[in-house]
Amino acid sequence: MSSVDSVAYYMHELNRDSGMYEEILTVLGICYLGKLTVSLTWSAIQGFRAHVLSRILPSPSIADTYGRWAVITGCTSGIGRAYTVELARRGMNVVLISQNIDKLSDLAKEVEMDYSVETKIIQVDFSEGRSIYQKIATELDVLDVGVLVNNVGVLHGTPLYFTELSENDVWDMINVNVGAMTMMTRVVLPSMLRRQRGIIVNLSSISSIKPVPLMGVYAATKAYIDHLSQALSEECRGTGVKVQSLIPGYINTSMIKSYLPHLTQNPYLVPNAEMFSRHAISTIGIVDRSTGYWLHGFFAYFMQLSPSWVHLRISHWLNRNVRYNIINNERSKVSQISKHR
């Protein structure tokens, strides 16, 4: 074979291989586009059901559907308090579980006076762990618990590297964020299954979708809540009992104000607890997993699409800057106090 023929032969083989690779890449691209289209369509349908139809179509009474009593943990402030007031407004009796007896008593008096419902107070500190749950189980045993809102949670105020967390910080997040949701569910779920009705609402977070540097333990506890909620939802399918995982973005609460105060200035991107709770409660019985607030659904969708390494780098950079600003502000306050002495 002459050199000219050899070149022609190799060029022919190269073109053939190139054509084959192009076909493979085309097929892969079509498959990915198809997956993306199906995912986007399904998310749009779920979002429409959760945030549009649920607020347009008449819905049955939560109390009549699931039971007369709602149990709310971490109920004296933020989302927990807003859920308590909204459920009482809808005619549900409420069990208030939190640590501060004065705040519990004030909230009980408020909802009894405003909405003519019954209340029950259980004072416990969820950071104590295993020892508190027998008391809670005994108090709830005689009630027709139809709704459990596992809201109680803790977040350290400043983004911190793992080695900067105190041992108490770590145990608080494990005992409160993980332990409370798991054990409270274990307390009420058997009776719900016997009655074949009830719903458990677990407050996770949008941070559960991807790992978050400088908030690693917190985000991991929220991922635990989301994963267990989805598993329980499937286990309870067909029993009359529902389990809902809520993965909201930032909500304007005291926890977030201490962490990212500038974000709370936009009420549409960062709704207050009352606005969020009204939206989220409308999704009860409609979807098993939701951000609870329609605009946060877009954030969650694009977070799921983004490559993990991109999210890790960006969230690390953002939290590092937030940490730097908080530490500098604290130093500045200390310096100002010293000058005035």
* C-alpha span between 92 and 70 (Å, rounded): 6
Q: Does residue 292 register a pLDDT over 90?
A: yes
Which residue, 212, 206, 254, is CA-closest to 79?
254
| HSE, side-chain direction, 13 A CA sphere, residue 64 | 4
Which residue, 103, 291, 81, 77, is CA-closest to 94?
81
* Residue bearing the bigger pLDDT, 313 or 5: 313
**What's the gap between Cα 171 and its chain centre?**
20
Residue type, 98: S
CB atoms within 10 A of CB 241: 23
Q: Look up 224 and say whether it is catalytic.
A: no
Q: For the residues 156-172, what does the mean pLDDT come to? A: 92
Which residue, 82, 71, 126, 44, is CA-closest to 251?
82
CB atoms within 10 A of CB 321: 11
3-class secondary-structure state, position 95:
strand
pLDDT of residue 324: 87
Q: Does residue 12 register a pLDDT over 60?
A: no
Percent of the chain with pLDDT over 70: 76
* C-alpha span between 190 and 250 (Å, rounded): 33
Q: What is the DSSP letter of 173?
A: I
Q: String of b and e for 250-264 (b: at least 16 CB within 10 Å)?
A: bbbbebbeebbeeeb
Q: Could you tell me where the beta strands, DSSP code E, fall in 190-315?
A: 198-203, 241-246, 289-290
Q: Which of 218, 250, 259, 293 is catalytic?
A: 218
pLDDT of residue 10: 54
Q: Does residue 317 register a pLDDT over 90?
A: yes
Q: What is the DSSP letter of 179?
A: I
Which residue, 31, 7, 49, is CA-closest to 294?
49
pLDDT of residue 224: 98
pLDDT of residue 5: 56
pLDDT of residue 328: 81
pLDDT of residue 337: 46
Question: What's the whole-model pTM score?
Answer: 0.84
**Helices 78-89 + 101-115 axis angle, to 10:** 30
| Structural domains of the chain in order of their starting residue, each with its CATH number | 60-320 (3.40.50.720)
* Residue bearing the bigger pLDDT, 226 or 33: 226
